[in-house]
């Protein structure tokens, strides 16, 4: 629960996301996979929707059966998934307060919107017909991004433990603005963005500022919002 250890985990997830985004950029936008009932795809079971949703929900259903979404930082993108059929302990070292809150929060719908909008900027326009590989790349990236953002629950708990008296005082005063300011550490954010840029270059991405912008405008703000939602839950 130490903040330093939690941030080390965030860096690991950061590495996974950057590599995944760079790999997605190897394919064109392939917007047909996000198009409802696109002419490129025919379904034998009268499925109505996108090829992306067709594949992603099936994969999530398997993950749900195997227990993935019993973990506090794993959130599904779809509803109506089958129940877990595997008995094991997923959160043995996670405090009950975090587990209780994590069951109430899911930013996945907003993460999906932000990511799919970003595809237009990340990838070259057009179709290359690598629809299956493109979809699997998207699924991998979305799950990694979601995990990183929802890990903000543990980030906030670590920050709270480091300075509990300050946060309790601000909470008692209903000082939402000050809490938000306390969470937004500009120097830490700049270090993250610099790392993202350097790692993007290392992974061979020619325009690293695109990925930096995605972290700055999507991943980091959503992580902070998860932190805010968690800290405010302590007032309930």
Contacts of 131 (CB under 8 A, 6+ apart): 30, 32, 33, 40, 41, 51
The structural domains of the chain, with segments of one domain joined by +, span 3-233
Tell me what pLDDT residue 92 has: 80
pLDDT of residue 1: 66
Q: What is the pLDDT of residue 45?
A: 81
**CATH ID of 3-233, from 3.40.605.10, 3.40.50.720, 2.40.50.90, 1.10.590.10:** 1.10.590.10
Q: Which pLDDT belongs to residue 196?
A: 97
User: How far is the C-alpha of 45 from the C-alpha of 27, rounded, in Å?
Assistant: 28
The per-residue pLDDT for 35 is: 97
The DSSP string of 137-174 is HHHHHHHHHHHHHHTHHHHHHHHHHHTHHHHHHHHHTT
Helices H / strands E in the chain, number of each: 11, 0
Contact present, 64 and 81 (Cβ < 8 Å): yes
Report, as ranges of residue numbers, the positions in the chain whose pLDDT lies below 70.
1
Q: pTM of this prediction?
A: 0.94
Q: What is the DSSP letter of 234?
A: T
Backbone region of residue 94 per phi and psi (left: phi > 0; alpha: psi in -120 to 50; beta: other values): beta
- Dihedral of CA atoms 66, 67, 73, 76 in degrees, nearest 10, equals 70
Decide: 76 and 58 in contact? Cβ < 8 Å.
no
């Amino acid at each position: 629960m130490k903040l330093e250890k939690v941030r080390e985990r965030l860096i690991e997830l950061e590495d996974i996301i950057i590599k995944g985004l760079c790999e997605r950029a190897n394919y064109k936008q392939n917007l047909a996979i996000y198009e409802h009932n696109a002419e490129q795809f025919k379904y034998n079971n009268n499925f109505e929707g996108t090829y992306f949703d067709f594949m992603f929900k099936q994969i999530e259903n398997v993950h749900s059966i195997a227990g993935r979404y019993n973990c506090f930082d794993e959130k599904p993108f779809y509803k109506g998934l089958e129940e877990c059929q595997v008995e094991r302990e997923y959160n043995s070292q996670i405090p009950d307060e975090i587990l209780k809150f994590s069951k109430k929060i899911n930013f996945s719908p907003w993460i999906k919107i932000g990511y799919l909008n970003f595809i237009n900027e990340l990838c070259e326009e057009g179709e290359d017909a690598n629809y299956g590989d493109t979809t699997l790349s998207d699924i991998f990236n979305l799950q990694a991004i979601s995990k990183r953002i929802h890990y903000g629950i543990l980030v906030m708990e670590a920050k709270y433990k480091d300075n509990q008296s300050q946060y309790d005082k601000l909470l008692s005063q209903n000082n939402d603005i000050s809490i938000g300011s306390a969470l937004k550490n500009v120097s830490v954010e700049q270090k993250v963005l610099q790392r993202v840029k350097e790692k993007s270059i290392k992974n061979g991405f020619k325009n690293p500022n695109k990925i930096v912008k995605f972290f700055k405008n999507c991943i980091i703000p959503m992580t902070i919002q998860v932190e805010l939602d968690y800290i405010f839950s302590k007032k309930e």
